[in-house]
Amino acid sequence: MRHTISVLVENKFGVLSRVSGLFSGRGYNIESLSVGETIDPNVSVMTIVTSGDDWIIEQITKQLNKLIDVIKVVDMTELDHVEREMVLIKVAPRSEDKAEVLRLAEIFRGRVVDSSPKTYTIEMTGDEKKIAAIVELLRPMGIKEFVRTGKIAIAREGIKKA
Amino acid sequence: MKISGAEIFIECLKKEGVKHIFGYPGGVVLNIFDALHDEKDLQLILTRHEQGAVHAADGYARASGKAGVVLVTSGPGATNTVTGIATASMDSIPLVVFSGQVPTLLIGNDAFQEADIVGITRPCTKYNYLVKDVQDLARIIKEAFYIATTGRPGPVLIDLPKDVTSGKAEFVWPESVSMATYKPTYEGNRYMINQAAHMLAKAKKPVIVAGGGVIASGASKELKELAEYADVPVTMTLMGLGCFPGSHRLSLGMPGMHGTYYANRAIQESDLLVAVGMRFDDRVTGKISAFAPNAKIVHIDIDPTSIRKNVRVDVPIVGDVKRVLSVMNKVLKEEVKDQWQEVRKAWTKQIDAWRKERPLTYDRTTDTIKPQYVVEKIYELTKGDAIIATEVGQNQMWASQFYRYDKPRTLLSSGGLGTMGYGMPAAIGAQFAFPNKLVIDIAGDGSIQMNIQELATAVLNKLPIKVAILNNRYLGMVRQWQELFFQERYAHTKLDETVPDFVKIAEAYNAVGLRATKKSEVEPVLKEAFSIKRPVMMDFVVDWREKVYPMVPAGAAIDEMLFAEDEKKSEKKLKAVK
């Protein structure tokens, strides 16, 4: 099963390598990874999406906790949480599809952040399903480039799954 | 007053109570070596290879319980430590390894003798540091010793750029360490301990499996108390040998691939396994799905990642073994009223029957030297009062089977990584920790050649270590596998004519060399060696055909054992396993 794990770490050199080495050294896969500073500049948060059975996920969280630079590990999948990812999609539609591309961007609350005679670049945030949906709809129009940030996640306050 | 990084290094080690550093000089660590030159309280022991330095520090740590300290130069000096560090890491041995590094401004420039040792050792250290500012040096050294020796111990590496050891700073020694992100769990969960105690009291067929964690935690007394009070047989993993007296009536010896018949049978038949400070290595469990099929498992370990890593666990207890066992003993004595003596009678009887059915044995009738005989004689002559180091392979297994370790820290052996060439430098380290103890390396003719240069270290320092080479002219353990599983095709395991004359080697290094080629010569050679207060290398020319039995083929359940006495029958079994 797929898990989104949030890891608070000390913001210093080598930490990312320790975390990624933990995965690679054991043959576990990282599906996506995003890293950024928290409000406290000494602390970063890594959001890691990985998959495995319960045994593997248990090992991953334990091993992460064991790393000396790791402050806290939260398996978001066990909590009610919000997940977001940002994508930038460069579309090169035929002239007759241009209006449709803009309409889709609007429906998905995306924004056109760059346009050229032949392309639009759309910025959009959302969860996995929403991104998958717009990708499917834009694909026939001609996606030229596609980049995504990797997931970030935050727990909802007050409501925990039993 | 400001002092140099090299001087801060020395002050820190003194504060940590370090007496011995094992090392090897080189360009970028000259500042430190120069500062050490006039130092009276800190002895630098020059080995002949950096790997030897790390194994020596490791042997020192295993024998004494204190962190071993290493100092080497950058580049090749640092990379040569990797095998030693990985050895210590796998066996949870506290080491602090200092490597020199090129000046900070040159890092990343492919400078002369530059290696990214922090990157290289990241997966085989508990933690590592690159010191970028001399102001941080004292704090980092303090933290390094703290991390190495607390929780589940392990090696820590500190990389010291040349400008850090020459740079100056005020020496401020932090009296204590507080790391928000590193807080090992020492106290076990009381509810879990209670539950384990009650399960133990009710169990009809319990077995304790004790590992190196018992030694690391200093919990031998508590373990013995538990075993005796609750009347539970104890089997010890290779790393655990000595944590419970091997000659005790409740001792089952070692389990696993070359474990005793009775230890393996007891595990397989047990209804409760209490695993203490061990991590269910594949050499212990054999085929996981067939391991202890009827047992509930209580697992006590300070490292949560060890629990439920390889086997299912019914009662996990994260904590320091010593503290957990003392609480468990208290609970058993004060709260548990069950009378287990009656329900266990059948179990004790069964185990005794297994002991009689298949004791550890070998052919004692030959005139050729059986390697097991040498180990048995060493045990007999030392009365078990020695520190034994081993190399890796058959020598290691015979040393585990035919010598009984009654005290912790008397067996030094590379268990997890299985590092050939470990034994002699480890014996050297142990001899520094205990100058008056008899320290013996039980070696093979293959392994000993991997760090034979350290004989010079022993001679130079007048260390009376003894090396007993079980010389079978083969890489014996691999040859054994080839005989059993590869139709006797001895690919690259026959050393024969190329095995050097170990007596001459010993003499060339100005040590003493002795040789025995007949059984009747074994005892006189050992007696002579033990009477000489210098390094002695003994060459025991043993029967090359001898194999380590019992043996569980890789991938088989641990009760599917092969025995010496029915090699013919084994062939059938082997086919079945394949």
A residues 113-132 closer than 8 Å to B (CB): none
What pLDDT is stored for residue B574 in this prediction?
64
d(CA B396, CA B388): 10
Beta strands in B30-121 (DSSP E): 43-46, 68-72, 95-101
What pLDDT is stored for residue B281 in this prediction?
95
Q: Angle at Cα B59 formed by Cα B438 and Cα B98, nearest 5°?
A: 145
Q: Is B119 touching A (CB cutoff 8 A)?
A: yes
State how far the alpha carbon of A30 is from the alpha carbons of A60, A69, B202, B284, in Å.
11, 19, 45, 31
Residues of B with catalytic roles? 50, 112-113, 162, 477
Evaluate whether B154 touches B126 at the Cβ level (below 8 Å).
Answer: yes
Residue B64 CB contacts under 8 Å (≥ 6 apart), including other chains: B409, B430, B433, B434
Give the number of other CB atoms < 10 A from CB of residue B405: 27
What pLDDT is stored for residue B262 in this prediction?
98
Q: Is B118 touching A (CB cutoff 8 A)?
A: yes
d(CA B122, CA B301): 23
* Cross-sheet strand order for the sheet of B272-276: B234-236, B206-210, B272-276, B296-301, B315-318
Residues of A in Cβ contact (< 8 Å) with B182: 68
Residues of A in Cβ contact (< 8 Å) with B305: 59, 62-63, 66
**Residues A62, B182: C-beta atoms closer than 8 Å:** no
Q: How confident is the model at residue A90 (pLDDT cuts 50, 70, 90)?
A: very high
More reliable by pLDDT, A1 or B35: B35
Residue B31 CB contacts under 8 Å (≥ 6 apart), including other chains: B4, B5, B6, B162, B165, B166
**Residues B181, A18: C-beta atoms closer than 8 Å:** no
**Between B180, B305, B308, which is nearest A63 by CB?**
B305
Q: What is the pLDDT of residues A19-69, one digit of tens each?
A: 999 999 999 999 999 999 999 999 999 999 999 999 999 999 999 999 999
User: Which tokens go with B367?
Assistant: 């005139």
User: Which tokens go with B576?
Assistant: 């079945």
ipTM score of complex: 0.88
3-class DSSP state for residue B383? coil
Evaluate whether B73 touches B24 at the Cβ level (below 8 Å).
Answer: yes
**Residues A21, B123: C-beta atoms closer than 8 Å:** yes
3-class DSSP state for residue B469? strand
Amino acid at B411: L
The shares of helix, strand and coil residues in chain B, as percent rounded to the nearest 5, are: 45, 15, 40
User: Which tokens go with B39?
Assistant: 């130092």
Residues of B in Cβ contact (< 8 Å) with A62: 304-305
What pLDDT is stored for residue B342 in this prediction?
83
What pLDDT is stored for residue A108 in this prediction?
96
Residues of B in Cβ contact (< 8 Å) with A66: 303-305
The shares of helix, strand and coil residues in chain A, as percent rounded to the nearest 5, are: 35, 40, 25
What pLDDT is stored for residue B180 in this prediction?
86
What pLDDT is stored for residue A158 in this prediction?
76
Q: How confident is the model at residue A160 (pLDDT cuts 50, 70, 90)?
A: low
Integer-rounded Cα Rg, in Å, for chain B is: 24
Q: Is B545 touching A (CB cutoff 8 A)?
A: no
Q: Is B436 touching A (CB cutoff 8 A)?
A: no
State how far the alpha carbon of B235 is from the alpha carbons of B206, B220, B246, B254, in Å.
11, 13, 9, 6
What pLDDT is stored for residue B570 in this prediction?
60
Q: Is A11 touching B (CB cutoff 8 A)?
A: no
d(CA A69, CA A14): 9
**Between A21, A58, A59, which is nearest B122 by CB?**
A21
φ, ψ of residue B400 to 5 degrees: the values are -80, -30
B76 cis-preceded (ω within 30 degrees of 0) = no
φ, ψ of residue B240 to 5 degrees: the values are -95, -10
Best of A58, A59, A62 to mutate (most B CBs within 10 Å, chain B): A62
d(CA B247, CA B262): 15
d(CA B187, CA A111): 55
What pLDDT is stored for residue B576 in this prediction?
60
Beta strands in B122-217 (DSSP E): 127-130, 155-161, 168-170, 206-210
d(CA B313, CA B213): 18
Q: Is B312 touching A (CB cutoff 8 A)?
A: no
What pLDDT is stored for residue B569 in this prediction?
64
d(CA B265, CA B136): 54
Q: What is the pLDDT along chain B (578 residues), one digit of tens a residue?
A: 899 999 999 999 999 999 999 999 999 999 999 999 999 999 999 999 999 999 999 999 999 999 999 999 999 999 999 999 999 999 999 999 999 999 999 999 999 999 999 999 999 999 999 999 999 999 999 999 999 999 999 999 999 999 999 999 999 999 999 898 999 999 999 999 999 999 999 999 999 999 999 999 999 999 999 999 999 999 999 999 999 999 999 999 999 999 999 999 999 999 999 999 999 999 999 999 999 999 999 999 999 999 999 999 999 999 999 999 999 999 999 988 777 888 889 999 999 999 999 999 999 999 999 999 999 999 999 999 999 999 999 999 999 999 999 999 999 999 999 999 999 999 999 999 999 999 999 999 999 999 999 999 999 999 999 999 999 999 999 999 999 999 999 999 999 889 999 999 999 999 999 999 999 999 999 999 999 999 999 999 999 999 999 999 999 999 999 998 877 666 666 666 65
Q: Is A23 touching B (CB cutoff 8 A)?
A: no
d(CA B417, CA B91): 8
d(CA B484, CA B575): 10
What is the number of CB-based contacts under 8 A between chain A and chain B?
Answer: 32
Q: Is A20 touching B (CB cutoff 8 A)?
A: no
Q: What is the pLDDT of residues A15-24, one digit of tens each?
A: 999 999 999 9
What pLDDT is stored for residue B566 in this prediction?
74
DSSP string of B251-279, one letter each residue:
B----STT--HHHHHHHHH-SEEEEES--
DSSP run (H or E) holding B23:
strand B20-23
* Nearest residue to A18 (alpha-carbon basis) of B92, B104, B125, B178: B125
- In chain A, what's the furthest Cα-to-Cα distance? 57
Give the number of other CB atoms < 10 A from CB of residue A99: 10
A residues 24-83 closer than 8 Å to B (CB): 25, 55, 58-59, 62-63, 65-66, 68-71
Distance from CA of A50 to the nearest CA of B (A): 18
DSSP string of B501-538, one letter each residue:
-HHHHHHHTTSEEEEE-SHHHHHHHHHHHHH-SS-EEE
d(CA B96, CA B84): 12
Q: Is B147 touching A (CB cutoff 8 A)?
A: yes
**Residues B122, A55: C-beta atoms closer than 8 Å:** no
